[in-house]
């Protein structure tokens, strides 16, 4: 559609000078008034049609490109929803956001430019050249000189400037990133009195950018003189050769009207060449965005449902059989090595270990957030890879360490766990998670609006809401990954007591820093460097595990001789 | 018709122009001159064309090129000379523009940054970071647009419009009127369409904000989405927002896209009208008044050789009017950006009237002090003679007597007396805080979120200034100490670690810029960070980016502690510095810190009581007041708030 309108617009636009030229000649030759009016009306009509075509083309191209962007965003978002954790890890959050926003906008813009100008300019170019030859005859020879000069010149400039610009933009992004870093870390900058140091650092980077930018812009600035040169050359040539032709042939080979039309066509040809070179630049710039977008679209979700998935989780037992795991095939070290672990349904299991001992990694294998590298994980006696992912995750609720509430009311957030939950069920779950107290104390209660990132509730409150949200799933397995670290010890204990009393048949896995959080568990797993160091009850471990004893002593007894 | 239309902010515009002139007092006027020359040169060819066409008209019946050439060629030669001049002017001004624009932007960027560095913390606490950032990105970009595009084009087009208008008037009043009617039409239409486009662009901006907010939230919460099988809901919500964005975006762009062809085709209409009306005038031999008739003293008739260049001029005229109309819009946008930049530049910087400085010192056995340039591990306050030194200050005897200064030993004796503070006048945060940290003591603050723990540390390093009361550091009023020296003497480790892009080593060295690699490693060992750093793939040369998002929160905290440790400060403030470190590692860190801070003062804020247990003084805060203070044992005996907090852990035993 758009193309059609553009074609119409271009044809008419090229015809107008042609007919005008004839008109001019006719006037010169002496013409009847009604003939003049007739030609005049024809011209006006043509201008109006051209206007309509142009407007329609503008409208349709805007719609098409906005629609294109919409579909692109939709596909991208869709694809990300299909990603596994492994896929997500490969792209950082920030980079996914940029791809969905800035990159899509870039592509939308260039798409619009392309459908509007990429058709228009070459067409204009071809028509104008054809018309010029038809009308100007030998006078059109000027274009044989001008066009290649301009063409080569423009593309040489574009080609020289492009890499320079790309380099600059990269540096420019870096500069802005470092400013952002500075804004965020202002307390540290000022705390260490590093203002001057940062200024010097920034000054150097900015100076570097100025140099590169100036270089690139000066290359591009050559465009205008080049363009002018061709225009002027064309004008002088047409005037000299044209007037000679007109006079020597007494207006037979070339007349005054044709000569003036040649000047107009010259402009049109040069302008369209200029536009083509601009499009070339825009396309090359958006290619980078295109590439980054297709990187996401081409990413294959690394986890898919099996052929005939198991649709029911029989019970909450969990078995790790000789499980080894690493985050990427290229990683040198295994995050988990030869883990054997058997948990009966309904047990409460505590997991303890130092920073980086792979506690989170261990539990993430249960709801199949990642696939094992070796061995297998079974829930309810079935390999997790045989379940439908949805069924498995509905039955294995996990409260992540890095958890998040979403903007919306508390109710809406809680219903993530179970859409059809009644208000009573919500309150019940919050009571278990010790969240009902503070939620009811809010003026809007369960309808309190949570800001993006949950900034208007404290860390401890956020954690309790996240636990309530997970409880609403009525899962067979509940995993709490350091989910009460910001909750005071008393509330922590109440939550655990609640879990024990109200959902005894659910298997509960608790990762914690505090011994108090796990010491009454049926089984405590000590992880050290991706291996199981010891398994047992609190009392057994106090006797058998040195690590456990050490942690326990640190947390309960005051160290001697420290003061 | 719509009041919300963007306006040009002339205040900001003239400030930009003044700044430009100040930065480039020679180059900017030179550029302006070149632009004016170039635009006049661009208008003149029309006259030559008219003359040449007239000559052709005179000669073409004869067919005598030899004769005609004598008249025509000199004119073409002259024209070519003008062209060469125009070429030179254009080349010079475009090159100068590129140079000036980048130089100017660079200057603005640097000024922006250095002003920002001098702003008080309050500014960063009360302004959204994204908002500050957009001055460096959007606003600087719009300034670039203004300086490199809008202003020169406006000038160029303006001069051309005036020049062409005169030339047109010179030839024919009637024809000029035809053109003017068309121009009026253009202004009318572009006002209409421009208004509609601006309205939808605003809506589009809002939709973009919403979509980006949603994407941001969902992408960062993607793992939670998956754990809850919530993908399809997200898709639906997203599609709704996405559809809304599509609506506004295509409307906004449609208005903008339609504007161009419409104006161009009105230009075509003018072109056609001139041909037709001009033709009629020629045929009917209507008198043709114009400026030329003034010179000639008589009114002639319109001839064909006037009409032809008029066609070209009409195109040029409408084209440039169109340029002007568009530039008005972009100048309005750019001045809005410039205004935001100036806002930041006009922000009041952090004032610093402190004159007491921190110097490295050597103190020999008999207690005599000598000021030295290099780091010695000993510091002294260099106090001007007229600054009062209160009782806690240990005045040192100088090896070489200097009557203008007294030297006070830096010991880390900090006293707060009756301190009140409020971030907002009507909401007091701290009331009557008095406390005394003796040199070498570990002072801990305990209390609920919002009790005022962090606020106290904000006052110590003067991120904020107190409302009432006194804070003295080694007997010196902290207001009298130069801010940078005060802060240098206070090591700071915060819960939000804020690492910088660069290697691990660079990040540790941030604490002390001239530290050797060995010093940095030693600091890392003290902080208990050496162990994990050496296990990173590139060890100390591992590049951290994005606030170190390839490390765990605990590991980041360890690096932040190492960064403070390498600075080797006499006083340390640890604000939830170990909150994400497991208790075992924390023990290692604490042992290291205790060693480092032996004999120096430490302020600790922590919600984990095991972290603060061994402090000399524990201060329990509630609603900005001190409600309990004492050692761990004393507080347990008091059976107050602290006791309750502490025993919570053992309630089930």
The answer to whether residues A388 and A247 belong to one domain is no
Q: Which two tokens stand for residue A157?
A: 């400039």
Q: Is the ipTM of this complex over 0.90?
A: no
The answer to whether residues A342 and A272 belong to one domain is no
Give the closest-approach CA distance of A143 to chain B in angstroms.
18
Domain ranges of chain B: 13-172+302-346, 434-650
Inter-chain touch B239–A74, beta carbons under 8 Å: yes
Instruction: Return the CATH number at A452.
Output: 3.40.50.300
Model confidence over A172-214: pLDDT tens digits?
Answer: 878 887 888 888 788 888 888 888 888 888 898 889 888 988 8
Inter-chain touch A20–B212, beta carbons under 8 Å: no
Q: Can you give the pLDDT at residue B5? A: 45
The answer to whether residues A352 and A403 belong to one domain is yes
Residue B652's pLDDT band (boundaries 50, 70, 90)? Answer: very low
User: Across chain B, how many H-helices and E-strands are there?
Assistant: 23, 19
Q: Give the C-alpha distances (Å, rounded to integers) separating B27 from A297, B33, B41, B94.
A: 50, 10, 21, 12
Residues A187, B494 contacting (CB under 8 angstroms) = yes
Q: Which two tokens stand for residue B609?
A: 């009581």
Q: Can you give the pLDDT at residue B3? A: 36
Average pLDDT over residues B641-653: 57
Asked if the structure places residue A181 within a domain, the reply is: no
Asked if the structure places residue A39 within a domain, the reply is: yes
CA A296 to chain centre: 9
Strands A408-409 and A449-450: antiparallel
Which segment of A463-477, A545-559, B208-222 scores lowest on mean pLDDT?
A: A545-559
Out of A65, A203, A243, closest to residue B52 by CB: A243
Contacts of residue A197 in chain B, CB cutoff 8 Å? 513
Out of B55, B87, B511, closest to residue A232 by CB: B87
Residues B168, B313 contacting (CB under 8 angstroms) = yes
Whether B603 shows a pLDDT value over 70: the answer reads: yes
CB pairs under 8 A between A and B: 428
Average pLDDT over residues B615-633: 87
Among B98, B354, B481, most A C-beta atoms within 10 A, so best to mutate, is: B98
Residues B632, B615 contacting (CB under 8 angstroms) = yes
The answer to whether residues A416 and A515 belong to one domain is yes
Average pLDDT over residues B290-299: 72
Inter-chain touch B546–A94, beta carbons under 8 Å: yes
The answer to whether residues A290 and A330 belong to one domain is no
Instruction: Return the CATH number at A259.
Output: 1.20.1560.10
CA A420 to chain centre: 32
List strand residue ranges (DSSP E) for A276-389, in order. 318-325, 336-343, 348-353, 374-379, 382-383
Please give the Cα distance from B236 to B233 (Å, whole number).
5
Contacts of residue B230 in chain A, CB cutoff 8 Å? 416
Confidence (pTM): 0.75
Whether B609 shows a pLDDT value over 70: the answer reads: yes
* Percent of chain B residues past pLDDT 90, beyond the cut: 6
Q: Can you give the pLDDT at residue A28? A: 66
From the CB of residue B343, how many other CB atoms can be counted at a distance below 10 Å? 12
Among A76, A188, A198, A211, most B C-beta atoms within 10 A, so best to mutate, is: A188
Q: Can you give the pLDDT at residue A154? A: 83
Among B215, B485, B535, B572, most A C-beta atoms within 10 A, so best to mutate, is: B215
Instruction: Give contacts of A 392-411 with B, CB under 8 A.
Output: 393-394, 397-398, 400, 402-404, 406-407
Q: Can you give the pLDDT at residue A30? A: 65
A99 Rama sector, left if φ>0, alpha if ψ -120 to 50, beta otherwise: alpha
Strands B368-372 and B395-398: parallel
Q: Which two tokens stand for residue A413?
A: 């957030």
The answer to whether residues A342 and A443 belong to one domain is yes
Asked if the structure places residue A185 within a domain, the reply is: no
Strands A477-481 and A507-511: parallel
Please give the Cα distance from B380 to B122 (Å, whole number).
30
Please give the Cα distance from B452 to B622 (Å, whole number).
8
Burial code (b: 16+ CB inside 10 Å, e: under 16) for B392-429 equals: bbbebebeeeeeebbbbbbbbbbbbeebebbeeeeeeb
Chain B contact for A39 (CB, 8 A cutoff): yes
The answer to whether residues A358 and A289 belong to one domain is no
The answer to whether residues A421 and A482 belong to one domain is yes
Report the run of H or E that residue B485 belongs to, with start and end. Answer: helix B483-488
Which of these three, A240, A266, A298, is where a domain ends? A298
Contacts of residue A93 in chain B, CB cutoff 8 Å? 216, 219-220, 222
Please give the Cα distance from B412 to B208 (Å, whole number).
52
Please give the Cα distance from B401 to B370 (Å, whole number).
10
- Give SS3 for A379: strand
Instruction: Give contacts of A 131-170 with B, CB under 8 A.
Output: none
List strand residue ranges (DSSP E) for B294-356, in order. 300-301
Q: What angle do CA B8, B13, B14 make, to 5 degrees?
A: 135
Model confidence over A36-65: pLDDT tens digits?
Answer: 778 888 888 888 888 888 888 888 888 888
Model confidence over B118-172: pLDDT tens digits?
Answer: 888 888 888 777 778 888 877 888 888 888 888 888 888 888 888 888 888 888 8
Model confidence over A359-388: pLDDT tens digits?
Answer: 888 998 998 888 898 899 999 989 988 998
Give the closest-approach CA distance of B429 to chain A in angstroms.
18
Yes or no: domain B434-650 corresponds to CATH 3.30.230.10:
no
Burial code (b: 16+ CB inside 10 Å, e: under 16) for A532-560 equals: bbbbbebeebeeebebbeebbebbeeeee
Yes or no: domain B13-172+302-346 corresponds to CATH 3.40.50.300:
no
Q: Which residue of A has its CA nearest to B264?
A: A51
Residue B4's pLDDT band (boundaries 50, 70, 90)? Answer: very low
Whether B6 shows a pLDDT value over 60: the answer reads: no
Model confidence over A471-512: pLDDT tens digits?
Answer: 998 899 999 988 887 777 778 888 888 888 888 889 999 998
CA A402 to chain centre: 21
Out of A44, A62, A195, closest to residue B250 by CB: A62
Q: Give the C-alpha distances (Å, rounded to integers) separating A117 from A123, B283, B354.
A: 9, 40, 63
Q: Which residue of A has its CA nearest to B209?
A: A101
Out of A51, A251, A469, closest to residue B60 by CB: A251
Q: What angle do CA A544, A545, A550 make, to 5 degrees?
A: 130
Residue with tokens 């030339």: B167
Please give the Cα distance from B412 to B616 (Å, whole number).
15
Among A187, A218, A296, A454, most B C-beta atoms within 10 A, so best to mutate, is: A187
The answer to whether residues A292 and A324 belong to one domain is no
Domains of chain A: total: 2
The answer to whether residues A322 and A384 belong to one domain is yes
Inter-chain touch B227–A393, beta carbons under 8 Å: yes
Q: In B510-620, which residue ranges form alpha helices assigned H by DSSP?
A: 517-526, 530-535, 553-567, 583-596, 609-612
Out of A55, A209, A459, closest to residue B261 by CB: A55
Strands B300-301 and B368-372: unpaired
Q: Can you give the pLDDT at residue B649? A: 43
Please give the Cα distance from B550 to B548 (Å, whole number).
5
Residue with tokens 């024209």: B79
Query: Dihedrals φ, ψ of B354, to 5°?
Result: -70, 140
Q: Can you give the pLDDT at residue A557? A: 56
Q: Can you give the pLDDT at residue A323? A: 92
Range of the domain at A243: 2-153+221-298
The answer to whether residues A360 and A461 belong to one domain is yes
Q: How many CA atoms, within 13 angstroms, populate the side-chain half-sphere of residue A3? A: 5
Average pLDDT over residues A441-463: 82
Which of these three, A298, A328, A350, is where a domain ends? A298
Out of B121, B264, B272, closest to residue A187 by CB: B121
Model confidence over B499-526: pLDDT tens digits?
Answer: 888 899 999 998 888 889 999 999 898 8
Most confident of A83-97, A108-122, B11-25, B128-142: B11-25
A526 Rama sector, left if φ>0, alpha if ψ -120 to 50, beta otherwise: beta
Average pLDDT over residues B32-56: 82
Contacts of residue A250 in chain B, CB cutoff 8 Å? 60-61, 63
Chain B contact for A218 (CB, 8 A cutoff): yes
Model confidence over A524-562: pLDDT tens digits?
Answer: 999 888 888 889 999 898 888 888 888 887 776 543 333
Inter-chain touch A176–B124, beta carbons under 8 Å: no
The answer to whether residues A409 and A326 belong to one domain is yes
Give the closest-approach CA distance of A133 to chain B in angstroms.
20
Say which residue, B307 or B114, is predicted with more confidence.
Answer: B114
Chain B contact for A301 (CB, 8 A cutoff): no
Asked if the structure places residue A194 within a domain, the reply is: no
Q: Which residue of A has its CA nearest to B529?
A: A355
Asked if the structure places residue A248 within a domain, the reply is: yes
Q: Give the C-alpha distances (Å, rounded to integers) separating A169 from A210, A216, B96.
A: 11, 11, 21
Asked if the structure places residue A328 within a domain, the reply is: yes
Average pLDDT over residues B464-493: 88
Mean of per-residue pLDDT scores for chain B = 82
Please give the Cα distance from A97 to A100 (Å, whole number).
5
Residue with tokens 């090595």: A337
Asked if the structure places residue A9 within a domain, the reply is: yes
Which segment of A282-296, B188-202, B293-307, B573-587 scores lowest on mean pLDDT?
A: B293-307
């Amino acid at each position: 559609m758009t193309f059609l309108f553009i074609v119409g617009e271009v044809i008419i636009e090229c015809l107008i000078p042609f007919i005008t030229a004839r008109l001019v000649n006719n006037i010169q030759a002496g013409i009847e008034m009604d003939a003049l009016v007739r030609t005049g009306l024809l011209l006006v009509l043509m201008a109006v049609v051209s206007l309509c075509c142009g407007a329609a083309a503008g409208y349709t191209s805007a719609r098409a490109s906005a629609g294109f962007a919409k579909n692109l965003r939709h596909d991208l978002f869709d694809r990300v929803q299909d990603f596994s954790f492994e896929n997500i890890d490969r792209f950082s959050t920030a980079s996914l956001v940029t791809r969905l926003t800035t990159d899509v906008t870039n592509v939308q813009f260039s798409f619009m430019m392309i459908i509007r100008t990429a058709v228009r300019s070459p067409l204009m170019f071809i028509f104008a050249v054809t018309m010029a030859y038809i009308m100007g005859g030998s006078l059109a020879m000027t274009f044989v000189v001008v066009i290649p000069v301009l063409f080569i010149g423009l593309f040489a400039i574009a080609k020289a400037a492009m890499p320079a610009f790309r380099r600059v933009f990269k540096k420019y992004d870096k500069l802005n990133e470092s400013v952002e870093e500075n804004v965020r870390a202002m307390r540290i900058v000022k705390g260490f009195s590093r203002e001057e140091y940062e200024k010097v650092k920034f000054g150097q980077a900015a100076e570097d950018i100025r140099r590169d930018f100036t270089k690139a812009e000066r290359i591009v600035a050559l465009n205008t003189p080049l363009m002018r040169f061709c225009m002027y050359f064309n004008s002088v040539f047409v005037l000299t050769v044209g007037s000679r032709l007109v006079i020597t042939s007494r207006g037979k080979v070339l007349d005054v009207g044709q000569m003036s039309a040649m000047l107009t066509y010259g402009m049109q040809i040069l302008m369209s060449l200029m536009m083509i070179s601009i499009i070339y630049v825009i396309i090359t710039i958006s290619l980078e965005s295109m590439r980054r977008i297709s990187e996401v679209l081409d990413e294959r979700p690394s986890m898919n449902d099996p052929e005939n998935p198991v649709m029911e989780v029989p019970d909450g037992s969990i078995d790790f059989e000789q499980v080894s795991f690493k985050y990427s095939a290229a990683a040198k070290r295994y995050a988990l090595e030869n883990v054997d672990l058997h948990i009966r349904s309904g047990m409460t299991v505590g997991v303890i270990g130092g920073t980086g001992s792979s506690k989170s990694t261990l539990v993430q294998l249960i709801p199949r957030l990642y696939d094992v590298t070796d061995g297998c994980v079974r829930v309810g006696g079935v390999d997790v890879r045989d379940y439908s992912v949805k069924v498995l995750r509905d039955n294995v609720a996990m409260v992540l360490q890095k958890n998040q509430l979403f903007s919306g009311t508390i109710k809406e957030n809680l219903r993530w766990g179970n859409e059809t939950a009644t208000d009573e069920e919500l309150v019940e779950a919050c009571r278990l998670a010790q969240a009902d107290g503070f939620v009811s104390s809010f003026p809007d209660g369960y309808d309190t609006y949570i800001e993006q990132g949950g900034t208007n509730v404290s860390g401890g409150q956020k954690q309790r809401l996240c636990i309530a949200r997970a409880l609403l799933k009525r899962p067979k397995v509940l995993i709490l990954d350091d989910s009460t670290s910001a909750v005071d010890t008393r509330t922590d204990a109440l939550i655990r007591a609640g879990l024990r009393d109200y959902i005894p048949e659910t298997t509960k896995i608790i990762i914690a820093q505090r011994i108090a959080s796990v010491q009454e568990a049926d089984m405590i797993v000590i992880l050290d460097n991706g291996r199981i160091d010891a398994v047992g009850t609190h009392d057994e471990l106090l006797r058998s595990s040195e690590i456990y004893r050490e942690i326990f002593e640190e947390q309960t007894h005051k160290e001697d001789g420290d003061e | 018709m719509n009041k919300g239309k963007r306006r040009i902010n002339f205040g900001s515009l003239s400030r930009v122009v003044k700044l430009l002139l100040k930065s480039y007092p020679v180059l900017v006027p030179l550029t302006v001159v070149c632009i004016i020359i170039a635009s006049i040169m661009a208008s003149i060819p029309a006259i030559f064309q008219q003359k040449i066409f007239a000559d052709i008209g005179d000669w073409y019946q004869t067919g005598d090129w030899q004769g005609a050439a004598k008249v025509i060629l000199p004119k073409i030669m002259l024209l070519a000379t003008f062209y060469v001049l125009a070429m030179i002017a254009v080349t010079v001004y475009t090159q100068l523009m590129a140079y000036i624009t980048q130089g100017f932007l660079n200057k603005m960027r640097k000024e922006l940054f250095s002003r920002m560095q001098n702003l008080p913390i309050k500014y960063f606490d009360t302004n959204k970071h994204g908002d500050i950032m957009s001055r460096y990105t959007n606003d600087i970009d719009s300034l670039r647009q203004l300086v490199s595009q809008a202003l020169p084009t406006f000038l160029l087009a303006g001069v051309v419009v005036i020049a062409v208008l005169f030339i047109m008037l010179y030839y024919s009043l009637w024809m000029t009127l035809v053109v003017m009617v068309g121009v009026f039409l253009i202004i009318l239409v572009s006002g209409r369409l421009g208004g509609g486009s601006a309205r939808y662009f605003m809506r589009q901006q809002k939709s973009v904000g919403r979509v980006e907010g949603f994407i941001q939230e969902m992408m960062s919460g993607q793992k939670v989405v998956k754990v809850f099988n919530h993908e399809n809901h997200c898709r639906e919500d997203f599609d709704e927002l996405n559809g809304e964005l599509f609506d506004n975006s295509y409307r906004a762009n449609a208005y903008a896209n339609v504007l161009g062809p419409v104006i161009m085709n009105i230009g075509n209409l003018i072109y056609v009208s001139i041909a037709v009306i001009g033709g009629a005038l020629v045929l009917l031999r209507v008198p043709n008044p114009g400026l030329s008739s003034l010179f000639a003293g008589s009114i002639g008739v319109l001839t064909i050789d006037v009409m032809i260049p008029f066609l070209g001029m009409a195109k040029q005229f409408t084209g440039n009017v169109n340029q002007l109309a568009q530039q008005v819009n972009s100048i309005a946008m750019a001045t809005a950006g410039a205004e935001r930049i100036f806002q930041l530049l006009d922000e009041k910087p952090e004032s610093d009237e402190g004159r007491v400085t921190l110097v490295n010192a050597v103190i020999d056995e008999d207690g005599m002090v000598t000021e030295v340039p290099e780091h010695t591990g000993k510091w002294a306050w260099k106090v001007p003679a007229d600054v009062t030194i209160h009782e806690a200050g240990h005045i040192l005897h100088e090896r070489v007597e200097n009557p203008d200064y007294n030297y006070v030993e830096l010991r880390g004796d900090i006293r707060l007396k009756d301190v009140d503070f409020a971030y907002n006048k009507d909401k007091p945060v701290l009331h009557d805080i008095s406390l005394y940290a003796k040199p070498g003591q570990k002072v801990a603050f305990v209390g609920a979120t919002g009790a005022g723990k962090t606020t106290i540390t904000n006052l110590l390093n003067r991120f904020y200034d107190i409302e009432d009361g006194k804070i003295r550091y080694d007997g010196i009023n902290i207001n009298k100490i130069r801010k940078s020296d005060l802060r240098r003497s206070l090591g700071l480790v915060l819960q939000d670690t804020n690492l910088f892009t660069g290697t691990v080593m660079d990040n540790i060295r941030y604490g002390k810029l001239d530290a050797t690699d060995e010093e940095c490693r030693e600091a890392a060992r003290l902080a208990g960070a050496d162990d994990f750093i050496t296990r990173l793939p590139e060890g100390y040369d591992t590049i951290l980016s994005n606030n170190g998002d390839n490390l765990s929160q605990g590991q980041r905290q360890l690096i932040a502690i190492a960064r403070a440790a390498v600075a080797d400060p006499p006083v340390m403030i640890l604000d939830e510095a170990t909150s994400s470190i497991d208790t075992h590692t924390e023990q290692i860190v604490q042992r290291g810190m205790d060693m480092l801070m032996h004999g120096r003062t430490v302020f600790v804020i922590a919600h984990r009581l095991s972290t603060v247990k061994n402090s000399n003084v524990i201060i329990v805060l509630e609603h900005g007041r001190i409600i309990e203070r004492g050692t761990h044992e004393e507080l347990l005996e008091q059976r107050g708030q602290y006791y309750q907090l502490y025993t919570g852990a053992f309630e089930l035993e």
